[in-house]
């Protein structure tokens, strides 16, 4: 029982991280129709900048600021130099250009910060565990992740549903030309959304740095899972990103915990071990395939 | 086709675009056929190896262009077929030579047995993935093919019996009756023959009635559907054919490198293949082959110059996109569509 509870919370934590990445990616696609593979690189840049600042100042606050600022600034730079010129182009060319940017970013980060992956300690005030129920302890860091994820979701909901910028974002996602024709500078709106998306990537990167390895290529791994989230939820929908992120987070963490046991009960140990490792990694893709069979446009698309 | 002059194109009507392609193709083939001679004459044996790599990547690129350029299906998981083709050959060889039987079958090292099996596996996977992915279109299609590619990648990584992360060494190349594939020159010619025949097949295919329907679907699905065309069979078959061609490239790669690794199916490999096609000119079939030469040549030259070659390669890809949509050779080869 305690194991199940812990796995559910782990799923929630992974889901919170995926949501931070998926919401920005899906908004950018919804408004400008740009498929941006560089999104994962912003997450990596955020994690590296955060780790670098933390190592040099020993202050988690400084690390957080550096991570957020680094990711957001890099995002704006990429938007300004490349993405801006791509939004009327075919997806094919967007994919190639942003693929090129990934190669560049990975190499640039390893040249600036070195090949040795930095170690990031959990900050003092987030160390330790919290008793959530009698006999059940949960790491404070992961709990903080869930809380921050919930705050981000609330903030985005408020921004999109209760503010003028949000109104324009919603309108832009539905009909870009119409918003443009109404005299709104859609390019500026787009830059704001892009910067916000990159900022959220930075936040995810800073938060993930103490929990996961900060290394070159971390962005691509999570980017592809983020794509799965968006496809499951429905491309262009923030609510879909939320649903997809939670679903993928849960399936991944429950799969990791229970698949090996489940297979072990049915098959011989060697076969079960081999299959389980593959199935756990592949489980979210199987989930995606299942969703698509019944709803080709995603759950909320 | 070749007798019709195309106005507004070509060097003062000297070549029509199809003539120009034919000349480009046949002269290219002739030059490629002379590579071993040149390699022998100049005493540069590594040239054959470099050109074999190029020919294999060219094969994958032509196959990808079939779906990318003629079907407008942006498959971002195509490396899964490259990986699968290679792995099937390596696994069957592994069972035949080193390990025991596979599902009660002793395995084989005969190319005429193993290669068709590998191609059939690729066709089957292509059919399954295509069937699911083609239910969607646009950006979802890109993401779904990417996700399926990753699924294959993770499954290959988890195959501990076959080396997991490190991949599987092939103790010997496949055997063809009468041809020694272990000899680099023979292997090069076999690869080149496969590339030439497959390219010819693809050129015929896209100019056939079938190919015309495929392109009509790309230009306007609604118009084609109103004319009574069911899109799914055309797109799915094109996807499967493309999967088979890419799988063949994987088979040749496994034999060339005598090693298969999960990286063969990684998404970065799919990205590379896509970059090669776009570099050479989408929808020109021959352009992507030239794109393979440029990409591999650049990779080799840059990586010899600096270990941070991707720092330069990345921006080059961005610039190619920003410069236009014809790639390096697409304009010259005359894309038949906008």
Taking the CA of residue A77 and the nearest CA in chain B, the distance in Å comes to: 14
Query: How much of chain B, in percent, has pLDDT values that exceed 70?
Result: 91
- pLDDT value, residue A78: 95
d(CA A177, CA A194): 18
Residues in chain B: 338
**Residue A228 contacts B, CB cutoff 8 Å:** yes
Given a contact cutoff of 8 angstroms between Cβ atoms, the answer to whether A42 and A74 are in contact is yes
d(CA B262, CA B260): 7
Contacts of B159 in chain A (CB under 8 A): 274, 278
Minimal-distance CA residue of chain B relative to A105: B311
* pLDDT top residue among B7 and A225: A225
Chain A from 43 to 102: CB within 8 A of any B CB: 82, 85-86, 89-93, 95-97, 99-102
Test mutation, B152, B158, B312, chain A, max A CBs within 10 A: B158
CA B142 to each of CA A207, B213, B291: distance values in angstroms, whole numbers, following the listed order: 29, 22, 21
The sign one gets for the Cα dihedral A42, A76, A102, B133 is positive
d(CA A34, CA B87): 35
- Lowest-confidence segment of A44-53, A141-150, B102-111, B289-298 by average pLDDT: B102-111
- Residue B318: helix, strand or coil by DSSP? helix
- pLDDT value, residue B123: 97
B42 pLDDT exceeds 90? Answer: no
Number of CB pairs, chain A paired with chain B, less than 8 A apart: 136
Mean pLDDT of B49-58: 94
Mean pLDDT of B155-159: 86
Nearest to A103 among B76, B147, B314 (CB): B314
- pLDDT value, residue B9: 45
Of A287-301, B112-126, B277-291, the range with the highest mean pLDDT is B112-126
**Residue A289 contacts B, CB cutoff 8 Å:** yes
d(CA B161, CA B171): 15
Given a contact cutoff of 8 angstroms between Cβ atoms, the answer to whether B77 and B146 are in contact is yes
Taking the CA of residue A285 and the nearest CA in chain B, the distance in Å comes to: 6
Nearest to B147 among A90, A100, A224 (CB): A224
Given a contact cutoff of 8 angstroms between Cβ atoms, the answer to whether A38 and A99 are in contact is no
**Residue recorded with tokens 């949000």:** A166
pTM of the model: 0.88
Mark yes or no for CB contact B316/A101 under 8 Å: no
First to last CA, chain B: 19
- pLDDT value, residue A275: 72
Of A8-17, B26-35, B162-171, B304-313, the range with the highest mean pLDDT is A8-17
Taking the CA of residue A65 and the nearest CA in chain B, the distance in Å comes to: 27
Taking Cα atoms as reference points, which of A21, A16, A9, A2 lies closest to residue A228?
Answer: A21
Taking the CA of residue A295 and the nearest CA in chain B, the distance in Å comes to: 9
**φ/ψ bin of A298: left (φ > 0), alpha (ψ from -120 to 50), beta (otherwise):** left
- How much is the CA Rg of chain B, to the nearest whole Å? 20
For chain B, give the longest Cα–Cα distance. 65
Helix ranges (DSSP H) in B14-110? 17-33, 35-41, 46-65, 79-97
Strands (DSSP E) contained in A128-255 are 129-133, 136-139
Give B13's DSSP letter. T
- Residue B179: helix, strand or coil by DSSP? strand
Q: How far is CA B332 from the centre of its chain?
A: 22
The pLDDT-based confidence of A82 (bands split at 50, 70, 90) is very high
The pLDDT-based confidence of B334 (bands split at 50, 70, 90) is low
B330 pLDDT exceeds 60? Answer: yes
Chain B from 276 to 295: CB within 8 A of any A CB: 278, 282
- Lowest-confidence segment of A94-108, A287-301, B43-57, B300-314 by average pLDDT: A287-301
Half-sphere exposure of B310 (CA within 13 A, CB side): 15
* pLDDT top residue among B289 and A263: B289
d(CA A204, CA A199): 9
Nearest to B315 among A104, A230, A293 (CB): A104
**Residue B28 contacts A, CB cutoff 8 Å:** no
* pLDDT top residue among A17 and B19: A17
Chain B from 227 to 246: CB within 8 A of any A CB: none
Q: φ and ψ at B94, to 5 degrees?
A: -60, -45
Mean pLDDT of A122-138: 84
Other Cβ atoms less than 10 A from the Cβ of B103: the count is 6
ipTM: 0.87
Tell me the pLDDT of chain A averaged across its residues: 88
Taking Cα atoms as reference points, which of B240, B298, B236 lies closest to residue B57?
Answer: B298
Angle between helices A186-208 and A39-57 (to 10 degrees): 50
The pLDDT-based confidence of B16 (bands split at 50, 70, 90) is low
- pLDDT value, residue B331: 66
Mark yes or no for CB contact A100/B74 under 8 Å: no
**Residue B226 contacts A, CB cutoff 8 Å:** no
Half-sphere exposure of B327 (CA within 13 A, CB side): 32
Taking the CA of residue A207 and the nearest CA in chain B, the distance in Å comes to: 25
Mean pLDDT of A192-221: 91
Mean pLDDT of B54-83: 94
Q: How far is CA A86 from the centre of its chain?
A: 22
Beta bridge partners of B179: B176
**Residue B275 contacts A, CB cutoff 8 Å:** yes
d(CA B319, CA B316): 5
B15 pLDDT exceeds 60? Answer: no
d(CA A207, CA A151): 14
- Which helix (H) or strand (E) segment holds residue B168: the answer is strand B168-169
Give B166's DSSP letter. G
Instruction: Supply angle C-alpha A281, A286, A292, rounded to 5.
Output: 145
- pLDDT value, residue A17: 94
**Residue B302 contacts A, CB cutoff 8 Å:** no
The pLDDT-based confidence of B6 (bands split at 50, 70, 90) is very low
**Residue B159 contacts A, CB cutoff 8 Å:** yes
Contacts of A82 in chain B (CB under 8 A): 318, 322
- Lowest-confidence segment of A170-174, A262-266, B16-20, B66-70 by average pLDDT: B16-20
In tens, the pLDDT along B111-130 reads 888 999 999 999 999 999 99
d(CA B50, CA B256): 11
Other Cβ atoms less than 10 A from the Cβ of B138: the count is 13
Mark yes or no for CB contact A274/B159 under 8 Å: yes
């Amino acid at each position: 029982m305690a194991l199940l509870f812990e796995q559910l919370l782990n799923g929630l934590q992974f889901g919170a991280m995926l949501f931070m990445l998926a919401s920005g990616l899906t908004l950018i696609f919804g408004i400008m129709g740009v498929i941006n593979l560089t999104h994962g690189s912003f997450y990596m840049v955020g994690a590296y900048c955060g780790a670098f600042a933390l190592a040099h100042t020993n202050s988690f606050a400084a690390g957080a600021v550096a991570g957020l600022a680094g990711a957001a600034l890099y995002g704006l730079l990429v938007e300004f130099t490349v993405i801006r010129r791509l939004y009327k182009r075919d997806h094919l060319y967007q994919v190639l250009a942003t693929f090129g940017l990934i190669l560049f970013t990975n190499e640039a980060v390893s040249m600036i910060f070195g090949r040795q992956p930095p170690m990031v300690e959990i900050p003092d005030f987030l160390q330790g565990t919290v008793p959530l129920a009698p006999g059940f302890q949960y790491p404070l860091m992961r709990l903080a992740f869930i809380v921050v994820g919930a705050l981000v979701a609330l903030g985005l909901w408020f921004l999109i549903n209760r503010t003028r910028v949000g109104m324009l974002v919603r309108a832009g996602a539905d009909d870009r030309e119409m918003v443009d024709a109404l005299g709104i500078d859609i390019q500026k709106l787009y830059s704001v959304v892009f910067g916000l998306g990159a900022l959220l990537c930075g936040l995810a990167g800073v938060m993930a740095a103490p929990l996961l390895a900060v290394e070159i290529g971390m962005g691509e791994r999570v980017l592809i899972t983020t794509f799965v989230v968006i496809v499951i939820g429905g491309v262009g929908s923030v609510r879909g990103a939320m649903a997809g992120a939670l679903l993928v987070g849960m399936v991944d963490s429950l799969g990791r915990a229970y698949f090996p046991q489940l297979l072990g009960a049915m098959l011989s140990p060697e076969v079960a071990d081999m299959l389980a490792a593959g199935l756990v990694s592949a489980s979210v893709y199987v989930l995606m395939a299942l969703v698509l069979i019944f709803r080709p446009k995603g759950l909320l698309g | 086709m070749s007798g019709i002059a195309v106005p507004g194109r070509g060097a003062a009507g000297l070549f029509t675009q199809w003539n120009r392609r034919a000349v480009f193709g046949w002269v290219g083939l002739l030059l490629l056929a002379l590579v071993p001679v040149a390699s022998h004459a100049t005493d540069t044996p590594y040239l054959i190896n470099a050109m074999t790599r190029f020919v294999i990547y060219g094969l994958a690129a032509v196959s990808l262009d079939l779906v990318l350029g003629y079907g407008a299906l942006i498959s971002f998981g195509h490396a899964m077929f490259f990986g699968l083709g290679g792995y099937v050959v390596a696994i069957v060889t592994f069972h035949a030579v080193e390990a025991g039987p596979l599902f009660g079958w002793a395995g084989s090292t005969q190319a005429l047995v193993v290669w068709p099996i590998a191609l059939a596996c690729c066709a089957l996977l292509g059919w399954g993935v295509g069937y699911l992915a083609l239910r969607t279109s646009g950006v979802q299609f890109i993401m779904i093919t990417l996700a399926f590619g990753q699924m294959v990648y993770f499954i290959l990584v988890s195959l501990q019996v076959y080396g997991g992360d490190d991949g599987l060494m092939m103790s010997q190349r496949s055997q063809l009756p009468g041809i020694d594939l272990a000899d680099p020159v023979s292997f090069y010619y076999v690869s080149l023959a496969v590339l030439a025949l497959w390219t010819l097949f693809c050129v015929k295919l896209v100019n056939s009635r079938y190919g015309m329907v495929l392109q009509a679907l790309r230009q306007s699905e609604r118009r084609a559907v109103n004319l009574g065309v069911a899109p799914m069979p055309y797109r799915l078959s094109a996807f499967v054919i493309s999967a088979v061609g890419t799988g063949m490239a994987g088979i040749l790669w496994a034999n060339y490198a005598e090693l298969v690794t999960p990286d063969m199916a990684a998404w970065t490999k799919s990205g590379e293949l896509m970059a090669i096609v776009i570099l050479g000119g989408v929808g020109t079939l021959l352009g992507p082959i030239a794109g393979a030469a440029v990409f591999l040549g650049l990779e080799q030259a840059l990586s010899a110059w600096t270990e941070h070659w991707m720092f330069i390669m990345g921006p080059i890809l961005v610039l190619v996109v920003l410069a236009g949509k014809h790639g390096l050779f697409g304009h010259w080869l005359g894309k038949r569509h906008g």
